[in-house]
Chain A
Amino acid sequence: MRAAPLEVMTTFFPGKRGTAPRAAQRGVEESSLAKWTLIGIALVFCVGFLLLPLLNVFAQALAKGGAHYWRSLTEPDSRAAIRLTLMVAAICVPLNVLFGLAAAWAIAKFEFRGKPFLVTLIDLPFSVSPVVAGLMLVVLLGQQGFFGEWLAAHEIKIIFAVPGLVLATVFITFPFVARELIPVMQAAGTEQEEAALTLGASGWQTFWHVTLPSVKWGLIYGVILCNARAMGEFGAVSVVSGHIAGLTETMPLRVQALYEGATTATTAAAFAVASLLALLALLTLGVKSALEWRQARAERIAASGAGQR
């Protein structure tokens, strides 16, 4: 599946072969010039806009020395922020896996009226500014909000509390899993599921043994993107959080609060927390690459094993 773009590349750039006619060879050289130019631009961009700032974050974080770095991360408010971020992600990701699977299943496997509308609705969190998303929750669930009185009467606190953070994050990260799954499920069609049914499998067995493995990679990418965003979300969370240090401050909010402290010590602490956030993101990417590598190796072994026999 992932080999397809490579094949396209090889047809565009067939490489230098001694037997190729001269005209074709000149074509090859021209396109290889284009190739290296494009690669160069991409590389410069990546280094300039991604790698350098990232390295700078780590440099700033360690500017006051390792001890200060460690203290910044282990002081109570930072620890609480780390704990809260991980907890919010741990709640949001499974929820959105469930929602995403359900939505993608409905869209890919069934025909019904209003399907394009549902697809648009799934994209809504992408198109709405996160701040607006947060405000919508405040308007709906805040003290002066639509359900405010009822919630107050039942002593349920959502806005300026953890449930609000979770709701805002779920809203923002909703499209990631569904968006990754819909095309994969649509491509897979329903035949494999029907085949499993004719072989006697129940609905649950079919889902577990056939549907889920066939969308595994889409699901993993979706989860990784969803997780990264859930940990990094700032706008929507900022509106509903209330910025109560130690209670409703997630890591991105903590970074901002420390940075606004505007002393060299707090700035270094802000970069320390930011560097941890970046590390978590790098870890996610690492997990993704490792999984990809393992999958590719398993396929290679299966292929060569079959070839030898």
Chain B
Amino acid sequence: MSIELQGVTKKFGDTVAVNNVSFSVREGELMALLGPSGGGKTTVLRLVAGLEMPTAGDVFIRGRRVNDLSVQQRNIGFVFQNYALFKNMNVFRNIAFGLKIKKWKRARMQARIEELLKLFGLEGLERRYPHQLSGGQRQRVAIARALAPQPSVLLLDEPFGAVDARIRQELREWLVTLHHDLNVTTVFVTHDQEEALEVANRIVIFSGGVLEQVGTPREVYDQPANEFVARFIGAMNVLEAKVREGVARIGELEFPASGEAEGQQVRVGFRPYAVQVSADLTRYRYHAVLQHTFFLGVLLRLELELPSGLTLRARMTKEDYAQQGLEDGRRVSFQIRQYRLLAGEAAALGPEAELQPETPPVLGDYI
């Protein structure tokens, strides 16, 4: 294990920022700490770095308990949200800072810096000052500076937060490539679930200082541990339904819910991609009006209004949409392939249920 937290709690006065958190990061992993702002993820990163000291619990780096080690002794590389480049030093001296402190020999230092400049595409910018660099260049300098003294782990706080959306995507891909090439254990903090899903090998999800789930992007998406995770990772339709005769009903929609008590109020969740939409009204069981289409790129988001007044979100590819000749205001038929009965926020979730395709109703028949 490269990094391990055991029952770590951090309090600031009366507020508990991190509450009894345990997880570990494997050697060479690219791990995301994900959660809404105020979830405690940055505090966890700072606890690993030694910029904060835990109120309770232990932090290990490469098997060694580091609670009593100062930030200088932990041999970590830290990249701050706004990069925190030394404004009075040029690119070369920024990267050289850690090496000078560690008293590297001149020739070795020169070689290391040249290697990093090349790796990070910063050649020719050595003499520039931070204010003469673009956002992306600043970020690369910050990472090069953190990596220069060959730290055992690289920690990044919201690495893509301070750049504009256009280069964010580029930087994400670049970080994945860099991690692949260097194979340094890397932990980064983000509030953007899409970013975590795309970049990380594994994700730790926090909310309110509590660890909600640890898993691969696939695991947290397909098998969310609880309702918070289910709703935080990816979009989800959530409906309040009432159980009658073993079926959760809301408006015209029905979801088999065997095992739930008669008259019980339940919440039903399903992902937009689980909603299949067809222009052919005889194709699927339910009918709706396509209210609005949001163009998100290759995927489109559809808003459906049911006769009962319910609105649902669906996903569809651009080609499928064009092929079917869909447009706003059209009547469509749809079905929900997979759904999940949601318990309370903290309770564990059962597996996703598959719905058998049902015979479509007679045209014009709504239920």
Contact = CB atoms under 8 A, between A and B. Distances in A.
B335 to A, nearest CB: 52
Interface in A186-239: 188, 191-192, 194-202, 205, 209-210, 213-214, 216
Contacts, number: 76
B78 interface: yes
Given A302-B127, A303-B132, A305-B127, A196 B97 contact: yes
Contacts of B85: 192, 195
Nearest to B128: A306
A214 B129 CA distance: 13
A209 B90 contact: no
B82 to A, nearest CB: 6
A306 B82 contact: no
A306 B132 contact: yes
Nearest to B91: A306
Interface stretch (B1-9, B69-77, B232-240, B264-272): B69-77
A30 interface: no
Nearest to B145: A199
Interface string A265-309: 000000000000000000000000000000000010011011001
A195 B125 CA distance: 21
Per DSSP, are chain B's interface residues mostly helix, strand or loop, or mixed?
loop
A198 B146 contact: yes
Nearest to A192: B84
What is the size category of the interface that chain B forms with chain A?
A: 20 to 34
B72 A200 contact: yes
Interface size class of A (residues with CB under 8 A): 20 to 34
A191 B149 CA distance: 19
A191 B72 contact: no
Given A200-B149, A201-B72, A302-B129, A194 B84 contact: yes
Interface in B209-265: none
Contact of B101 (A191, A192, A199, A309): A199
Interface string B117-139: 00000001101110010000000
B76 to A, nearest CB: 6
A195 B78 contact: yes
B86 A198 contact: no
B88 interface: yes
20 contacts: A188-B87, A191-B82, A191-B84, A192-B84, A192-B85, A192-B87, A194-B80, A198-B78, A198-B146, A199-B149, A200-B98, A202-B72, A210-B86, A213-B86, A213-B89, A302-B127, A303-B129, A305-B127, A306-B132, A309-B125
Complex A-B, nearest 5 residue pairs according to Cβ-Cβ distance, in ascending order: A199-B98, A191-B84, A213-B88, A198-B78, A306-B128
